[in-house]
Amino acid sequence: MLKKTTLAKAIAYALAGVALSAGAISNAAAGVTTMYNLTTSSGDDNSANTTNPTAGNSWALTGNTDGWIYGFATPAGNPANTVAKWVGTTGTRHAPFGYTAPHLNWAIDFNGAGSGEISTFDAFNRYGVYADIDTARGAWSDQALGGRFGLAP
């Protein structure tokens, strides 16, 4: 009789261990959150942009640097009520991590194992909007030669 009780306990512990480890795996897989600023440098709302910026074989998001949360050189404001709209944060106008400096394009939060991608396509796949994540096709574009800023040579 003692062996059955010990065996039953062993099985129960094994099943509980499987449940706990499976829970840890699912939490780790969901442990990456990407966040994007959806306001342009001129303060325009980009939160409804569903036009693929590469549809014309050239990067179509143009303009000055984006990501200004409170305006150019404006003192920091309330990170829970920013001028900029955001996706992936705790609220539409909440800056990531309570950030209070004037400029931020994107952020990523790792709460477990995994990897993340910051891209305009990640923004669309996760949130349904093409975010302009950088300097609007300037500093990073491979085709930005001779001031052409992304236009095909």
Domain extent for 8: 1-30
Tens-place pLDDT, residues 120-146: 889 999 999 988 776 555 444 555 444
- Say what the pLDDT of residue 31 is: 87
| Number of independent structural domains in the chain | 2
**Strand (E) or helix (H) holding 36:** strand 32-37
Residues 9 and 40 placed together within one structural domain of the fold: no
Residues 79 and 113 placed together within one structural domain of the fold: yes
Checking if the pLDDT of 57 tops 70, the result is: no
- Say what the pLDDT of residue 32 is: 92
Residues 97 and 84 placed together within one structural domain of the fold: yes
Residues 54 and 18 placed together within one structural domain of the fold: no
- Say what the pLDDT of residue 24 is: 40
d(CA 25, CA 95): 29
Residues 74 and 94 placed together within one structural domain of the fold: yes
Q: What percent of the chain is predicted at pLDDT more than 90?
A: 14
Are 36 and 126 in contact by the 8 Å Cβ rule? The answer is no
Higher pLDDT, 41 or 23: 41
User: Does residue 59 sit within a domain?
Assistant: yes
Residues 40 and 106 placed together within one structural domain of the fold: yes
| Other Cβ atoms within 10 Å of 115 Cβ, number | 7
Residues 26 and 44 placed together within one structural domain of the fold: no
Checking if the pLDDT of 50 tops 80, the result is: yes
User: Does residue 70 sit within a domain?
Assistant: yes
d(CA 56, CA 43): 25
Q: Which residues contact 130 (CB under 8 A, 6 or more apart)?
A: 49, 50, 51, 52, 53, 61, 120, 121, 123, 124
Checking if the pLDDT of 96 tops 60, the result is: yes
Higher pLDDT, 68 or 43: 43
Residues 134 and 76 placed together within one structural domain of the fold: yes
User: Does residue 147 sit within a domain?
Assistant: no
User: Does residue 146 sit within a domain?
Assistant: no
